Amino acid sequence: MNSRPNPFLSLDYEPALESLGDDYFDEVSAAEFPQHILRYRSDRLLPQIGLDPAAVKDIDFIEAFGKFQGREPLLALRYHGYQFGEYNPFLGDGRGFLYGQVRGVDGELYDFGTKGSGTTPYSRGGDGRLTLKGGVREVLAAEALHYMGVRTSRCFSLVETGEQLWRGDEPSPTRSSVMVRFSRSHIRFGTFERLHYLKRADLIKKLVDHAIEYYYPHIWGKSDAYALFYAELVQRVAELTAQWMAAGFCHGVLNTDNMSITGESFDYGPYAFIPTYDPLFTAAYFDYSGRYCYGQQPNICQWNLAMLQKPLKAVIDANDLEAGLAKFDECYAIAYRSLMLQKLGLVATNSSELDRLLQLTVSLLKETQISYHHFFIQLTESFSPSWREDVNSILFLVDVLPLDYWDEWRRLYHQVLGQLSREEMDNVSRRLQEVNPNVALLRPVIESVWEAIINEDDWQPFYDLVRQIQGGQ
């Protein structure tokens, strides 16, 4: 028995969502698991809530986020959503709950939300559990995206729970886990859509007010706060989508219940990083129509924002909603242009040459089908100030065909670099190092880590990969 005070139980939890009342959630109980093995703890997040990693023991994580001791109530959120374009009123937190909300040292409110913590009223016949592989994959996705500059939730802990789970057509059971997700909010587009379905305009207004007060406080109290709220949400989602696209990331299931009201990325199931630039690449094997393919993500996020207008019309003028959504394309284009130029080590100034270089880069990646991620890795590793002086010294990939694309790209990149000072060339090198990770989280990499775990219970490759993703620090 742990005789020390558990630092997680001493945090100053805020009943922010709880204060809305039980029209938005159900109180639930956590499952009791036969075993608790802490497989991952995010020491990098602890200082964000004012805790010293050295003072937090593994048993503290297990008690708080494996056994869920000392916290009441635990809240399963209610929501609906459009799933593959069809409205589904039978959703809600089916294998998770809101454990608690705390202020970070930055003054922002954060959620501890679970995944795999047991059944709720919304489990729909499911067991409410999370496979260990699903937990491992989400840890890796969240860390990879975070260190690529994507606005994302993070995994706070992953505990193996000792149960055997049967999934789909798998011939044998798989191991189980419970994960705790650390995010800005678990309020989804679908949270509002449920209230519209129930014709509760009063509850929609209450939830909009809550969202603005806690997550858009800079507009709280303004006469046009509602219109500003939606307009900023559109901007946040457009920028998030651009971050995914630049990172070469395909979420896989962009249903409206997987869209956060804070414009934050979360809930990584069948995600994948694209091996090559292919707009038709799909991450989910069950996405037969390609609705959520890589290249469709901007259109889908825009569509999800349009569907959100239905409940928000109870509070926000239709003209203001349309004006807000009309900015999506521009916000996305500006963000994507800036991010992709950063991946080339450049600053997004107003330049036709930069526009042409970006177009040519995307064409090069698409037409040659070279590895999307390794192109930028090799660019970063090979970069030299001499590239400013000699076009022939610029990275040359002999296996890239057709060569005319490659030659034209090198000439234009050389032309852009030639306009920079020697001091600015140092900034190009620094920017390349900061923006482009040195590891590509492709499916074979994840599978190799999982194989070590499932075959030999060897977690070292997983920890090594996490450390590499985090920059080796």
Residue ranges of the binding site for ATP: 92, 94-95, 115, 127-128, 181, 188, 267
- Sign of torsion over alpha carbons 173, 465, 237, 181: positive
Residue 301 tokens, joined: 């996020």
Q: How far apart are CA 171 and CA 169, in angstroms?
A: 6
DSSP-derived pairing of the beta strands 154-165 and 174-183 = antiparallel
Are residues 374 and 403 in contact, defined by beta-carbon separation less than 8 angstroms? Answer: no
Active site residue 407: no
Give strand ranges (E) for 19-121.
25-28, 37-41, 74-77, 81-83, 86-88, 98-103, 109-115
In degrees rounded to 5, what are phi and psi of residue 429?
-60, -45
Q: How far apart are CA 254 and CA 205, in angstroms?
A: 25
Q: Is 186 helix (H, G, I), strand (E, B) or coil?
A: coil
Between the alpha carbon of residue 455 and those of residues 66, 224, 451, 459, the distances in Å are: 24, 58, 6, 11
DSSP state of 131: E
Please report, to the nearest 10 degrees, the dihedral formed by the alpha carbons of residues 390, 391, 392, 396 taken in order.
Answer: 130
Are residues 129 and 255 in contact, defined by beta-carbon separation less than 8 angstroms? Answer: no
- CA gyration radius for the chain? 23
- Sign of torsion over alpha carbons 197, 190, 227, 332: negative
Measured in residues, the chain has a length of 473
Residue 428 tokens, joined: 């190009």
Element (H, E) at 146: helix 132-147
Residue 380's Cβ-count burial label (10 Å; 0-12, 13-18, 19+) is: buried
Q: How far apart are CA 4 and CA 64, in angstroms?
A: 13
The residue among 155, 149, 139 whose CA lies nearest residue 239 is 149
Annotated binding-site positions: 92, 94-95, 115, 127-128, 181, 188, 258, 267
Residue in 257, 287, 355, 457 annotated catalytic = 257
- Sign of torsion over alpha carbons 113, 114, 119, 122: positive
Are residues 308 and 256 in contact, defined by beta-carbon separation less than 8 angstroms? Answer: yes
In degrees rounded to 5, what are phi and psi of residue 188?
-110, 165
List, by residue number, the catalytic residues: 257
